[in-house]
Homo-oligomer: A and B are copies of this chain.
Amino acid sequence: MDPLDQQQQAARTWFESLRDRICAEFEAIEREAGSEACFLYTPWERVDVTGEPGGGGVRGQMAGEVFEKVGVNVSTVGGRFSDEFARSIPGAEEDPRFFATGISLVAHMANPHVPAVHMNTRFLTTTRRWFGGGADLNPALPYDEDRAFFHDQLRAACDRHDPTYYERFAKWADDYFWLPHRNVARGVGGIFYDRLEGEFDPNFAFTRDVGEAFLAAFPPLVRKRMGMPFNEADMERLLEFRGRYVEFNLLYDRGTLFGLKTGGNVDAILMSLPPLARWK
């Protein structure tokens, strides 16, 4: 993998520092619940299609009392796309070299009143450069006020950068996180964006603000709901809801399918799957 240039290094450093802050906050929540759970970190390396070293990442995972299963991956990879794949990636049609750095997070929660959540932001380099990412909330037992609070934080982050972002990116999330075979949404949405090209600085600033918005939005929801009593019916609802989450990720999620079918790190890719799920 080529040495990182200044933009790539800046993005990578941000994603890693965001990971550190998120994991520290999630561990702090575990302490508040009287648990000693910690993230365990597993580094992995990637071999490029050329046979050269192709970067790698660190998979962080915690099995806690509040966070039944949470994974936070950071990865920084590069090399050459396969010929077939290069044709489908902007800017790689003529020159298959690429670089990608990003963070991805999925949290499945023990208490059915606490929503599951997904967040991912990334910076891609081919002959073009762009940011992408988003965050979406997946409550088995949805509360309007939780959805509103989560969306408000994301809207505020969007509005600081472009008055059109929130509407466009929230709709993109609604369109993307959709199970056509059941005609239902995966959750209650959030934002999704991709191909954010142009000047590096403002796009990087927006992507950082999405991470900050996630940190402002999710932990308060966890703290608010994690002590709520629940019954067997709530737990049934959670396990069935997680089944829909599995269906989405294995049937439709582009990142999952791409990763699995091109020899990515299976443990890191499938870390998104829930600890337990039910199909009636």
Contact surface of A with B, Cβ cutoff 8 Å = 69, 180-182, 239, 243, 246-247, 250-251, 257, 260-261, 263, 266, 270, 273-280
- Please, how many angstroms separate the alpha-carbon atoms of A177 and B276 in the complex? 23
**Residue in contact with A279 in the complex, picked from B251, B261, B275, B280, CB distance below 8 Å:** B275
Q: Which residues of B contact A180 (CB under 8 A)?
A: 261
Contact in complex: B246, A251 (CB < 8 Å): no
Determine how many copies of this chain the complex contains: 2
Contact in complex: A251, B247 (CB < 8 Å): no
| A276/B246 contact (C-beta < 8 A), A181-B260, A260-B251, A261-B181 known | no
- Please, how many angstroms separate the alpha-carbon atoms of A279 and B273 in the complex? 6
Q: Which residues of B contact A243 (CB under 8 A)?
A: 273
Contact in complex: B279, A270 (CB < 8 Å): yes
Contact in complex: B275, A276 (CB < 8 Å): no
- Please, how many angstroms separate the alpha-carbon atoms of A204 and B162 in the complex? 66
Q: Which residues of B contact A181 (CB under 8 A)?
A: 260-261, 263, 266
Q: Which residues of B contact A250 (CB under 8 A)?
A: 246-247, 250-251
Closest residue of chain B to A271 (Cβ to Cβ) is B279
Contact in complex: B182, A276 (CB < 8 Å): no
Contact in complex: A239, B278 (CB < 8 Å): no
Q: A250-B251, A277-B279 are in contact. List 10 more A-B contacts (CB 8 A).
A: A181-B260, A182-B266, A246-B250, A246-B277, A250-B250, A251-B251, A251-B260, A275-B278, A275-B279, A275-B280
Q: Which residues of B contact A69 (CB under 8 A)?
A: 279-280
Nearest chain B CB to A94 CB, angstrom units: 30
- Please, how many angstroms separate the alpha-carbon atoms of A246 and B251 in the complex? 11
Q: Which residues of B contact A277 (CB under 8 A)?
A: 246, 276-279
- Please, how many angstroms separate the alpha-carbon atoms of A250 and B182 in the complex? 14
Nearest chain B CB to A254 CB, angstrom units: 13
